[in-house]
Structure 1
Amino acid sequence: MNYSTTQPKGLVIWLTGLSGAGKSTLALQLQAQLRARGHASVILDGDDMRDRLCKDLGFSREDRMENVRRAGEIARLVAQSGVHAIVALVSPYQAARDQVRALMPAGEFLEVFCACPLDVCAKRDVKGLYRRAQAGGIANFTGVSDPYEAPAAPELVLNSAVESVDESLARLLALIEARLD
């Protein structure tokens, strides 16, 4: 599909990191700030994706790759319409994130690594997922019994263990505004 050069540019802002790293919290705050600046956005949250569009998928490597692929295709369509797609998804494998990046025009995919140590994520875990995974109750749990591959070259690294949400948000907004100029 060919879009007019006057079409507003939508970005894909891909928040990746372990469960409990603050991706969803940051996504909600980012959406509010973008809205206040007159920018439309959509949040694609990992929990929502798993409950709806990807409920047929398990947690094998292949299923996780497919989960990321589906989120990436939706994000691409959203961005093509001029709306920012904020994706808050563990997306544990570099190859899957690279496949999504390849869907987007250069500069319109922002990989943001919400870096947070496993022990801090486990302390934040209100659902008890880490405790269950460490006890063997959840197979293939990222960070416990399945790997998380940190981004090789993200556009931004946010250290959510030491930065406040406001500090991370300010840094993320600066990156986005630079891309929109």
Structure 2
Amino acid sequence: MSAANLVWHKGTIERPSRAVANQHGSGVIWLTGLSGAGKSTIASRVEASLHASGCRTFVLDGDNLRHGLCSDLGFSTEDRRENVRRVGEVARLFVDAGLIVIVALISPFKSDRERVRQLFGANEFFEVYCDCALDVCEARDPKGLYKRARAGEIPNFTGLASPYEPPDHPELILKTASATLEQCSQEVVGLLHRYDVVPNISVLP
């Protein structure tokens, strides 16, 4: 059956009702940046802080999703774009369900991130650029991926053999080479507060 013959089924419970029940809004924090820039670490700290304050959250981590939802994808340009598309669609479902979704995904291409942004309404999608120089990320190399890429074991590795395109106008830039984890996490939570997604919340120490 063609998708043109399908009709969207509207649910009984809509997002405003979920926001009232949750006592906070919903949206997606999209953390983008090179491998080793701190995306997953920041996502975990932000989620822990929000959860401790009673917010309903979920982290969509790029590596974790490639174990299941995106396990059939490689790292060609086309597969990377499909990976981002799938994560964006899942994030939209969670946002509709009333959750604050924190995506930690390299998502190297501007056009793919912009396509995901178009899935969301105003003040629902927040692009956060984890700005960290390649040499710093490579020196950190928490998963040993840069070393393996340099040895030719990982083809098309972002930042080395495949480009990363920084966002032009992200909602937030985190200088993760110089700022502490607590500072970065507080900036993300503060962003959600400024857009009235959550009340004023302090991050966990």
Q: With the length of structure 1 as denominator, give the TM-score of the two structures.
A: 0.96
5 Å-filtered alignment, 1:1-181, equals: 1=10, 3=14, 5-8=16-19, 9-180=25-196
- Distance of 2:177 and 2:59 partners within structure 1: 23
User: Match of 2:101, SS?
Assistant: strand
Amino acid at match of 1:136: G
Gap runs ≥5 in structure 2: 1-9, 20-24, 198-205
- Distance of 2:15 and 2:51 partners within structure 1: 24
- Distance of 2:108 and 2:39 partners within structure 1: 13
User: Match of 1:6, SS?
Assistant: helix
Measured at CA, do residues 4 and 91 of structure 1 come closer, stay the same or move farther in structure 2, by a change above 3 Å?
A: closer
- Distance of 1:70 and 1:4 partners within structure 2: 21
Amino acid at match of 1:167: Q
- Distance of 2:15 and 2:81 partners within structure 1: 32
Residues 132-141 or 36-45, more deviating: 132-141
- Distance of 1:53 and 1:5 partners within structure 2: 29
What's the offset of the Cα at 1:135?
A: 2.8
What's the offset of the Cα at 1:180?
A: 2.0
Greater CA radius of gyration, 1 or 2?
2
- 2:15 touches 2:98 (CA, 8 Å); kept in 1? no
Amino acid at match of 1:149: E
Residues 7-16 or 85-94, more deviating: 7-16
Q: With the length of structure 2 as denominator, give the TM-score of the two structures.
A: 0.85
What's the offset of the Cα at 1:131?
A: 1.5
- Distance of 2:108 and 2:136 partners within structure 1: 18
- Distance of 2:142 and 2:191 partners within structure 1: 30
User: Match of 2:126, SS?
Assistant: strand
What's the offset of the Cα at 1:4?
A: 5.3
- Distance of 1:142 and 1:169 partners within structure 2: 24
- Aligned positions, number: 181
User: How high is the sequence identity, in percent, across the aligned residues?
Assistant: 50
Amino acid at match of 1:128: G
User: Match of 2:137, SS?
Assistant: helix
What's the offset of the Cα at 1:6?
A: 3.2
